[in-house]
Structure 1
Amino acid sequence: MNDWHSWAAIAAFVGAYVLIVTERIHRTAAALGGAAVMLAIGATDDKAAFYSERSGIDWNVIFLLLGMMAIVGVLRQTGVFEYLAIWSVKRAHGRPFRVMAMLIVITAAASALLDNVTTVLLIAPVTLLVCERLGLRSAPFLIAEVLASNTGGAATLVGDPPNIIIASRGGLTFNDFLVHMLPIAVVLTAVLVLLCRIMFRRVFVYDEERTKEVMALEEREAIHDPRLLVQSLIVLVLVVAGFVLHPVLHFEPSVVALLGAGLLIAVSTAETGTVLKEVEWPTLAFFAGLFVMVGALIETGVIGELSKSLAKATGGEPLLASMLLLFGSAALSGIVDNIPYVATMAPITADLVRDMGGSGDGQHVLWWALALGADLGGNATAIGASANVVVLGIAESNRQPISFWQFTKYGLIVTAVTVALAAVYVWLRYFALA
């Protein structure tokens, strides 16, 4: 970090981040502008930006989003989201908090089985329609769902992209994540429901007239293309099966999503042009720019130096190392996207695990601390995790934008509470009661 490229890269990243935070220009323009500066000053190059697995654009994330956005675009034409909106409101009897609690639990559970990005792509359209029917502001509900997706996604190997990287580096299995991460994810989801009850208490205004109107609706009438719905659901089930069977099929989620999107467009009557219009292209471009900027920080050694400093500060003490990994990862994952952060930190964590020795849970605690910090820290800011950016893009395209600070002021509260509880969990399970 002694050469000028490192400091120039930091300055470019900070400048782009300030523009994103202050929203002086569109976040996509800020991210692409920052990426252009990184390339112009030589902090990264075309090979590193476009082809490197370590510091380039994560095309798996980009094409996973593209494929799932296309599938959601076809699903939207069937009326299924209107059906689910009416169904959920009727089950909650129009009570706003009950609706939010239901959506939080559904989102967290689905994020554990799918991944958090796919889940919010499916849930967000339903939420927008629910809020429209009940005359509620959609922003609090969308924010709550994003927080739930990152929390629930921590539960399993496939729930959050950083977990896949951690499992690969640490030699951890799907069942390992269930045993060690699922219990705390369930507790934190329950805590999130309580936090949302407090944070969004002013939003929960019951409108009796609107509720009566929705209760009088017949949800089945919302389905206006049953054949397309059947085709879409079959493809969606196949895609989900492809995600779950990744250890057997060895197809990346991005490949599965693209195959599903291609199959659905091929066998259905959906028009390609109409489907592609549903894709959130500005969101995909934002991700590309963000990946290039963070990749430049990796190429110049900035993130590596930060991670190594964190590792050196542990002094070989497992408890201290776990706490530093947990809180340090939570802080850094709120600033940069948690996928490239974990990709950089994983080999350093592997070195820590090897140097400290141990076996079983005592050896794996560092991996669980890294996973919890990265997954929960992604809730801290509007760009901390992929799901956050996707939902902000959906909200903007529906003319109900959520600002950086509108999201972040709630995300910071939830992150602080959940990371603190995760620290207690790590201490109790792996040290105090071990």
Structure 2
Amino acid sequence: MSIYALTSLIVFIIVVVGMVFQKIDRTLIAMLGAIFLLGVGVFPNQIGAIKEYVDYNTLLLLLGMMVFVETLRKTGIFTFLGLSMLRLFGNNTYTLFISLIFLVALFSGFIDNVTTVLVFIPMTFAITDSLNINYLPFVLGEIFASNIGGMATIIGDPPNIMIASAAGFSFSEFALVMYPIALINLVFMDILFIFIFKKDLQIKFDKDTIKSFDTSHLIEDKRSFFLSIILFVTVIIAFSAQHFLGLESSTIAIIAGFFSLLILAPNQVRDTLNEVEWESLLFFFGLFLITGAMEETGLIADLSNVMVKVAGNSVKSFSMFILPVASLISGFIDNIPFTATMIPVVQHLQVVQPGIFSDLSPVWYSLAMGACLGGNATSIGASANIIGLAMLTQFKNKTILFKDFAKYGLLLVLGNVVISEIYLLLLFF
């Protein structure tokens, strides 16, 4: 192993360990790692490395969708739609639970999981307090549903954005494969939770209480509200028809973000841009360079060869192997650096065995499923988990211990992984 390869590996390990123990901000440690690798000469051409290894399609897609979601959120559209759906389907505790879980998963396919949790959990507390029922199964269910729903589309979770960009999947192509398994896994979660929290979900309440919820106060500006609905539907259609339109996902996202800003909030540009998670974008930038250094020095090629030996020399065996491995690792380590590491590994399979790995689609989908589903295993597995549990403490002074969360999460992930493996076998093999 060359000195540059060893240096790249050490930097990667330091960055991952730093993120796991959360002793230093993940953006700071990723950027410092990338800057160090650029400075010590791992890349012969620094500007060339930035051009080659940084995935600008992913960064621009994230930026565009952050601006778009933040602009629409201020109109009250997401809260209004959520409460309106509850008024339609909240007939008893079971249907209330199922409809809330379904809504969270649906929203998570189009807006980021953290935003979904921030919208729905306060709404859930208001509902459960009004009905005098236990909030815990609802809150835990919504956290889990946000991660399951996020796997359904390329814009639902950052690993999907990265994978779709690397594999060249369109929005509709990705959704056609991932939406069915997301729904199946969601149904499994509903059944599991209804069984676990049977006593809490058997409580009867006056369904007129749900129907009496007032949504009119959520619409401050009718013009902006109706425009936001039109924009939201238009963007979904544009993503679905991107091949026909000849547009990259990032192009659609950037147009959606800044056009919505022009139409809905032209005087709030600075406020909206201040809400963009610039830290996340810089984190991605640094991470791309760190994994790029591992690719530049040959570490990724070595890792590909080792994984082929362990997983088996076929698309089927590799796909079956990567899903549980991705789920396990993503439960304890942020799924973004893991995905960033695995993408060049998967790409290199065609160099290792070009005949056998000519079609990598099953491997890409397996990686996406594992990275998204694994986040439910522990309380630190996904950002939505951390935010959701923090809100539980903030609003209810209730703390869920790591082991208590994992008791539900590991059981759910185990079932979801088995279901997803069967799905992959039936779909591709």
- Alignment TM-score, normalising by the size of structure 2: 0.75
Residue of structure 1 equivalent to 2:50: 50
The answer to whether the Cα contact below 8 Å between 2:88 and 2:211 also exists between their aligned partners in 1 is no
**Runs of 5+ unmatched residues, structure 2:** 130-134
Pair 1:331–1:37, CA change in 2 (3 A): farther
1:221 and 2:220 are equivalent in the alignment: no
The residue number in structure 2 matching 1:423 is 421
Q: Percent identity?
A: 22
Query: Residue 150 of structure 1 contacts residue 376 of structure 1 at CA under 8 Å; is this kept in 2?
Result: no
What's the CA shift string for 1:375-398, capped at 9, x where partnerless? Answer: 3233324899xx945886799899
How far is 1:263 from its partner?
1.8
Match of 2:362 in 1: 368
The 5-angstrom pairing of residues 303-314 of structure 1 reads 303-313=300-310
Shift of 1:260: 1.9
Q: 8 Å contact 1:147–1:379 — kept in the other structure? A: yes
1:324 corresponds to which residue?
321
The answer for the alignment partner of 2:132 in structure 1 is none
Given that residues 311 and 321 in structure 1 are in contact (C-alpha distance below 8 angstroms), is that contact kept between their aligned partners in structure 2?
yes
Deviations 1:188-209 (Å, cap 9, x if unpaired)?
Answer: 2322333455688899798979
Counterpart of 1:242? 238
> 8 Å contact 1:32–1:285 — kept in the other structure?
yes
Alignment-derived partner of residue 344 in structure 1: 344
- Would the alpha carbon gap of residues 421 and 24 (structure 1) be closer, same or farther in structure 2, given more than 3 Å must change? same
Q: Could you tell me how far 1:257 is from its partner in structure 2?
A: 1.7
Aligned CA distance change for structure 1 residues 320 and 251 (closer, same or farther; 3 Å): closer
The alignment yields a C-alpha RMSD, in angstroms, of 4.6
Which runs of 5 or more residues in structure 1 are unaligned? Answer: 358-362
The verdict on how the C-alpha distance between 1:197 and 1:38 changes in structure 2, with shifts beyond 3 A counting, is farther
**Do the aligned residues in 1 keep the contact of 2:366 with 2:424 (CA within 8 Å)?**
no
Offset of residue 147 of structure 1: 1.9
- Report what 1:378 is aligned to: 372
- Residue type at the aligned position of 1:422: S
Shift of 1:247: 0.8
Q: 1:293: which partner in 2?
A: 290
In structure 2, relative to structure 1, the CA distance for the partners of 1:166 and 1:412 (3 Å cut) is: farther
Deviation at 1:228, TM superposition (A): 0.9
In the alignment, is residue 232 of structure 1 matched against residue 228 of structure 2? Answer: yes
Tell me, yes or no, if structure 1 residue 38 matches structure 2 residue 37: yes
1:127 lines up with 2:120 in the alignment: yes
Three-state SS of the structure 2 residue aligned to 1:78 is coil
CA contact (8 A) 1:307 1:345 kept: yes
In the TM superposition, 1:11-410 aligns within 5 A as 11-44=10-43, 46-47=46-47, 50-52=50-52, 55-56=53-54, 58-91=55-88, 93=90, 98-109=95-106, 116=109, 118=111, 120=113, 123-134=116-127, 136=135, 140-141=140-141, 143-153=143-153, 160-161=160-161, 164-165=164-165, 168=168, 178=176, 183-197=180-194, 215-270=211-266, 271-313=268-310, 316=313, 319-328=316-325, 330=327, 335=333, 337=336, 340-341=340-341, 343-350=343-350, 354-356=354-356, 367-381=361-375, 388-389=382-383, 409=406
Letter in 2 for 1:12: V
Tell me, in whole angstroms, the C-alpha distance in 2 between the residues paired with 1:281 and 1:393. 18
1:154–1:182 Cα contact (<8 Å) kept: no
Q: Give the counterpart letter for 1:280 in structure 2.
A: E
Give the structure-1-normalised TM-score: 0.74
Q: How far apart are 1:42 and its partner, in Å?
A: 3.8
Distance 1:427 1:279 in 2: 39
Displacement of 1:253:
1.8
CA deviations over 1:402-432 (Å, ceiling 9, x no partner): 999699946655443322333334445666x
Secondary structure of the corresponding residue to residue 373 of structure 2: coil
Residue 420 of structure 1 aligns to a residue whose secondary structure is helix
CA positional deviation for 1:237:
2.5
Judging changes above 3 Å, is the alpha-carbon distance between structure 1 residues 20 and 343 closer, same or farther for their aligned structure 2 residues?
A: closer
CA contact (8 A) 2:4 2:297 kept: yes
Deviations 1:162-187, CA, capped at 9 Å, x for gaps = 56357549xx9956973x65554442
Instruction: Give the SS at the match of 1:17.
Output: helix
Deviates more, 1:323-332 or 1:71-80: 323-332
Distance in 1 between the 2:363 and 2:60 partners? 29
**How far apart are the structure 2 equivalents of 1:51 and 1:205?**
57
Q: Please tell me whether the aligned partners of residues 327 and 375 of structure 2 are also in contact (alpha carbons under 8 angstroms).
A: no
Alpha-carbon offset, residue 330 of structure 1: 4.8
Work out whether residues 325 and 373 of structure 1, in 8 Å CA contact, stay in contact via their aligned partners in 2: yes
Counterpart-to-counterpart distance in 2, 1:197 and 1:290: 40
AA in 1 matched with 2:235: V
Contact residue 64 and residue 257 of structure 2 kept, 8 A: yes
Q: Deviations over 1:320-353 (max 9, x none)?
A: 3443344455556665536534541443444577
| Counterpart residue identity of residue 133, structure 1 | A
Give the partner amino acid of 2:140. P
CA displacement, residues 203-248 of structure 1 (integer Å, 9 cap, x when unaligned) = 9798979x98765332123211111112222222332222112112
Partner SS, residue 144 of structure 1: helix
Taking a change above 3 Å as real, the CA distance of residues 352 and 405 of structure 1, as seen in their structure-2 partners, is: farther
> For the residues of structure 2 that align with 1:139 and 1:38, how far apart are their CA atoms?
42
Aligned to 1:360: none
